[in-house]
Amino acid sequence: MNQSSDIPSSNAHAKPFLSLSDVGKTYPGVVALDGLSIDIVPGEVIGLVGENGAGKSTLMKILGGVIAPDRGTIVLDGSELRSLTVESSISSGIAFVHQELNLFENLDVAANIFLGREPLKAGPLKLVDRERLRDMVEPLLKRVGAHFSADTAVATLSLAEQQMVEIAKALSINARLVIFDEPTSSLPLAETERLLTIIRSLRADGISVIFISHRLHEVERVADRVIVLRDGTVAGALARQDVDHDQMVKLMIGRTLAAARIAKPNRSPGAVALKASAVRTEAYPSRPVDLEIRYGEILGLAGLVGSGRSELARVLFGVDRSYGGTILQDGREISIRCARDAVAHGIFLAPEDRKRSGILLDFPIVQNITLANLRKYASRFLLSSDQETAAAEQQRVRLVIKAPSVSTRTGTLSGGNQQKVVLAKWLSMSPKVMIFDEPTRGIDIGAKNEIYGLMRALADAGVAVLMISSDMEEVMGVSDRIAVMHEGQIAGILEESEFSQESVLLLAVGKSLK
């Protein structure tokens, strides 16, 4: 059954301030929503779950006024509407914290939070009152537990910190309903706990929350009730006392499915494939990292945000330069000065932000798969499109990439299928070491298990796999060993018999295991 309730049952007797009745939306050839009805009362947390393509994004766009439903009614504060506009949605106190960050990196935190709503001074000159702006922003940052100031440049913040800015921006409009779309997808446990605390405080203040997450254990903890979407329809609803991981999964995909658990081989890993010896990163140039990745294993790399995990991955892949130390492959020192050097040695990276660094969204699948190795498909400097298509089609079938053809634009695919395209690019080049940075961020539970299976297949084929993950359930369920980072260094290595949430957390905060 579910964990102990962090939030008491919802206020079932309160009057809804927002209701959707028989709402439907159809695109050419696709029924996105079909007869959805939902009531939202003040001060409740609704968990909204479903696989990618279930209709969650369409519902969000309707509530945000971005699109209008084809049928159905919306009742807001007693007034019946056919649709919302962006302006009416915002003025009604409906706020969003999106999975894909919508921030301007060239501006500071304060400018992002109150963009277009800045306090002004100097009469007709309409100059931004920076002092008042800071005074308005600092309480919001304190409320979300941020450790940076209103003047901090967004470009210097981590993904987790940028999500905190998004939450503060949502709170700044005096929201009555805050819709969180995968808000913990890039957050490790400590920051996730802080977010759940924020949600509790919102609920206590009478603010409603729609919490969309593929991390079902978080939904299980925080939701007053859960609505499950499948193929555009409501597959079922669960009251607080019935919210359970297995029940949610069964409603989502029509069958039970173990989460973050893959069969592990009863064998010892191979020799050391890659060894970082006293490697120093830009984030922690004075703290050397020592780490060994073996052939045929999945080594999980855990730690808090800012511990230096992604920075280490970027050094191993040659995106960032090393500030010292050596990298050895098969016992021999190698030089990795750029990503091309890493690729030449069979070391590949599936980055945390796949849409920014892993794929080209406007390019078709075939070009994303072949772009990193065009020489393979060229003869006398002329590309063979037939060879490219054949190679991409082979990977599409192998990885079960759900798309009509390899000519499909990559940006139209679900998150799980986009991640498969990233993986297909490297699999076509016979990797020796595969680094995954947050491999299932923003991916539904069905696709997650497919990714886990692909990682295990790589390891079983002898590839050395390094998996960086902030999902505790994932890192313990998938890894053969777990390395934990703290402030730029490896705080400890856990064998499978030593796996526990407490052990990972103790090492992550710099404490030794008793």
Segment 242-280, tens digit of pLDDT: 998 888 878 887 654 444 556 677 778 889 999 999 999
User: Residues 73-100: what's their mean pLDDT?
Assistant: 90
Span 383-423, pLDDT tens digits: 888 888 998 998 888 888 888 889 999 988 877 788 889 88
Q: Which residues contact 364 (CB under 8 A, 6 or more apart)?
A: 406, 407, 408, 409, 410
β-strands 326-329, 378-379 pairing: unpaired
With 60 as the cut, is the pLDDT of residue 6 above it? Answer: no
CATH node for 16-93+174-186+203-256: 3.40.50.300
Mean pLDDT of the chain: 86
pLDDT at 185: 67
- Helix axis angle for 130-143 and 159-171, nearest 10°, is 110
Domains 16-93+174-186+203-256 and 270-346+431-514 share a fold: yes
User: Do you know the residue count of the chain?
Assistant: 514
Which sequence spans correspond to the domains of the chain?
Answer: 16-93+174-186+203-256, 103-172, 270-346+431-514, 358-430
Report the Cα 212 to chain-centroid distance in Å. 12
pTM for the predicted model, two decimal places = 0.60
User: Residues 278-307: what's their mean pLDDT?
Assistant: 91
β-strands 233-239, 225-230 pairing: antiparallel
Element (H, E) at 238: strand 233-239
Q: Are 94 and 179 in contact (CB under 8 A)?
A: yes
pLDDT at 7: 39
Residue 1: exposed, middle, or buried by beta-carbon count in 10 A (0-12, 13-18, 19+)? Answer: exposed
User: Residues 227-248: what's their mean pLDDT?
Assistant: 89
User: Residues 487-501: what's their mean pLDDT?
Assistant: 91
Q: Domain 270-346+431-514's class?
A: alpha beta
Q: Are 469 and 437 in contact (CB under 8 A)?
A: no
Whole-angstrom Cα distance, residue 511 to residue 495?
17
pLDDT at 9: 41
β-strands 120-121, 71-76 pairing: unpaired
With 60 as the cut, is the pLDDT of residue 115 above it? Answer: yes
pLDDT at 8: 42
